[in-house]
Structure 1
Amino acid sequence: MKLPIVCPSCESALQVSQMKCNNCETIVSGNYELPLYLQLTREEQEFILSFFLSSGSIKEMAKQAGNSYPTMRNKMDDLIEKIKNLK
């Protein structure tokens, strides 16, 4: 199941309010922001994972995806800008 990151009603960012240990039933409650990585879309998360698994080679990512290097570089630049704005 995909972790929701935006409210289905108003599209505001969701925050974590409770986590539970399935082993001992301990419950931790509060109001916590999602980690930066989880604030990204699934596609953006997959892009980062692909970058990591290709040893940081945008050229290799482009080859695997069947895209040009400039296309992948632009996607990378857009994602970098988004992450800077989330921080």
Structure 2
Amino acid sequence: MKLDLKDDLRRSIEEDIKKSFNLKGHKQNSKKYPVISECPVCHHDLEVVQLVCNHCSTEIKGQFTLSKFNYLDTEKLYFIEVFVKNRGNIKAIEKEMGYSYPTIKKMLDDVVVGLGYQLDGKEEKEEKEVKVDETPDTSRVEILEKIDKGEITPEEAAELLAKLK
């Protein structure tokens, strides 16, 4: 089951925001919302500028930073939750999410990049290199199998197939 929650979450948040504010911008109810990091209108980063104590109503205004995790989309946050819950056990993650090892590895790489880190260059190059037999028929079959397993993208497969001709 693949998750495509980002658009659904964005729409839901936009609707909740519209419902909770009247035309003058005054809050109508006290329902709490999750912190969002992206503007639902223009999709640029949002900035936290006010904190309020629910107990004594103290207000602190300024420019506050969000965690790196606040900038990840819902699918990546869900993956992190499953990853931590399963203590990084790839087999358990595969079973829970219903994805293959290469897909889980790619999702982990996407989270690493999403947090602002770079992947090890050697690792990326090794993943991109696809070894195939010299026989064109066998190579085509191997390339198609690698697409099916999620080891390479269709674009990478097209490049490899073009090299065989």
Instruction: Name the residue aligned to 1:59.
Output: 91
Residue aligning to 1:23? 55
Aligned to 1:47: 79
Decide which structure has greater strand share: 1
> Taking CA–CA contacts closer than 8 Å with sequence separation of 6 or more, which of the two structures ends up with the larger relative contact order?
1
Residue matched to 2:106: 74
Alpha-carbon distance in 1 for matches of 2:90, 2:49 = 37
Counterpart-to-counterpart distance in 1, 2:40 and 2:103: 31
TM-score, with structure 2 as normaliser? 0.48
Q: Percent identical across equivalent pairs?
A: 33
Match of 1:12 among 27, 30, 44: 44
Deviation at 1:50, TM superposition (A): 0.9
Aligned Cα root-mean-square deviation (Å): 1.4
- Residue 55 of structure 1: how far off its partner (Å): 0.9
TM-score normalised according to structure 1 size: 0.86
Q: Unpaired segments of 5 or more residues in structure 2?
A: 1-32, 118-165
| CA-CA distance at 1:80 after TM superposition | 0.8
Q: Residues of 2 paired with 1:45 and 1:65: CA distance?
A: 13
Q: Which has the larger radius of gyration?
A: 2
Instruction: Tell me, in whole angstroms, the C-alpha distance in 2 between the residues paired with 1:42 and 1:3.
Output: 12
